[in-house]
Amino acid sequence: MRHIAVIGSGPAGYYTAEAAQKMWGSEVEIDIFDRLPVPYGLIRSGVAPDHQSIKGVSRRYEAVALSDNVRFIGNVTVGEDVSIAELQALYDAVVLATGAPHDKPLGLPGAELTNVHGSAAFVGWYNGHPQFADLAPDLSGQTAVVIGNGNVALDVARILAKTHAEFAGSDIVGLALDALDASGIERIVVLGRRGPHQIAMTPKELGELGQLERASPLVDPADLPDPGDDAVLEPGQRKSVNLLRAFAALGDAERAAKPITIEFDFFAAPRAIVGDDRVKAVEVETTRLDNGRAVGTGATYTIPANLVVACIGYQTSPIPGVPFEESAGRFANDEGRILPGLYCVGWARRGPSGTIGTNRPDGFSVVEKIAEDIGDGSTKPGRAGFDRLADQRGLKVVRFRDWQKIDEAEQQRARDDAPREKFTDIDRMIEAASKGQPLP
Ligand code: NAP
């Protein structure tokens, strides 16, 4: 028997469990840990609430979770409730699938001002992550500046622009929907430090900005390269750039019909956030490309701003004793191997890039490495050993059947047009999980 602990129940964690099942069938036992009482990580807390079809992938993870040799061990924080060393003593392999839940620091003067948020916090807020439920971003001002030209910047701009009706069918949390209903935002500026050819926005997501009820995208034709230059782009990127061209061609009349503008500001590097205690403006330097890099031209201008959301990428949280590659914001690893018996997978291994599906081959690849290293397994105690430790420590472990009760309770309390209303508070989750019987 092989005993595997996977830390993190997001896509990377479940694909790793699935790969281990495929590799060893009933000859493996896998415990999937999560610090929250609810599973699915990025699917629940990162994927936009109005992208329900993407969230549907969790049904595939549920099939893995419900098999006998896989357990969900929720509400247990590795590094606090139990150490990595303790898990290594219990399991043949410990796999860090902890994702990249923290914002890369913006590192600009004024970044600490009130109403300047990182996307991990802002996205976590509208997705009901307990850590960010109290963020209370102030949406009463007129202008929001979204920094970054990736898909997260698109998510944030779109969520800020949508009407109440456009959230029908989404699982945006009520507190965020109420705040958005009262929002005064009319201008959303999306800042890209490079140009249209360098965006990291996929066509489907970018195209959504052209379909919004009360918002229209604005692109300055002068920022667009010569159309002939698009030939060098790979097809997906060419599609995205074509969308920018279509946005640039929108007429004034079409735009006037919609009160919110989503303005793409290219070749625009933020240099400082300005304000007293609260953000008032963003100072920007225009750039030009030099070998693909953004180089400041020395010309600056100021955008008045009441809200800033920095969508510039994420990083993994370091764990004491686990080698970390600071510059890349991920664990130091050799194709998933960190130290003997310790592995990483997904964003924790390669940094925050790629789609959810990219994590699937990642899971299979790390399981191959584990197979090479552990052979037939060992006599380590595995799940029985962890259960003893959890008992001794009085840990309130939330198992998958407990999550199913939370899931049911969230569905029952949903708005009419929503699939669920998430609990944003861990105690409320535990309460829903323990309905009828106490947690062990
Ligand atoms: P990302 O794709 O890496 O984009 C980050 C953006 O921030 C880039 O435009 C980058 O510009 C810019 N940036 C970085 N540092 C900056 C700085 N100091 N100042 C100004 N701009 C800066 O990251 P992401 O948007 O967080 O997305 C993470 C991953 O999740 C991506 O793989 C993304 O595709 C995926 N995702 C997918 C979906 C979806 O498919 N629906 C939705 C959300 C996220 P440079 O290029 O110049 O570095």
Model pLDDT, residue 15: 97
Q: Whose CA is nearest to atom 1 of ligand 1?
A: 150
Given a contact cutoff of 8 angstroms between Cβ atoms, the answer to whether 332 and 324 are in contact is yes
Model pLDDT, residue 438: 54
What's the CA-to-centroid distance between 155 and ligand 1, angstroms? 11
Share of the chain above pLDDT 90, in %: 93
CB-ligand 1 contact for 358 (6 Å cutoff): no
What's the CA-to-centroid distance between 206 and ligand 1, angstroms? 13
CB-ligand 1 contact for 357 (6 Å cutoff): no
What's the CA-to-centroid distance between 325 and ligand 1, angstroms? 19
What's the CA-to-centroid distance between 383 and ligand 1, angstroms? 38
Q: Whose CA is nearest to atom 9 of ligand 1?
A: 149
CB-ligand 1 contact for 313 (6 Å cutoff): yes
- Give ∠ CA 126-72-326 in degrees, rounded to 5: 60
The stretches in the chain having pLDDT less than 70 are: 436-440
Given a contact cutoff of 8 angstroms between Cβ atoms, the answer to whether 133 and 42 are in contact is no
The tokens for 268 are 């625009």
CB-ligand 1 contact for 105 (6 Å cutoff): no
Torsion, Cα of 59, 23, 42, 436 (10° steps): 60
The whole-angstrom distance between residue 28's C-alpha and the CA centroid of its chain comes to: 30
CB-ligand 1 contact for 194 (6 Å cutoff): yes
How are beta strands 307-310 and 116-118 bridged, if at all? Answer: parallel
Q: Where would I find the H helices in 25-133?
A: 42-45, 52-55, 58-65, 84-90, 119-126
The tokens for 428 are 């409320």
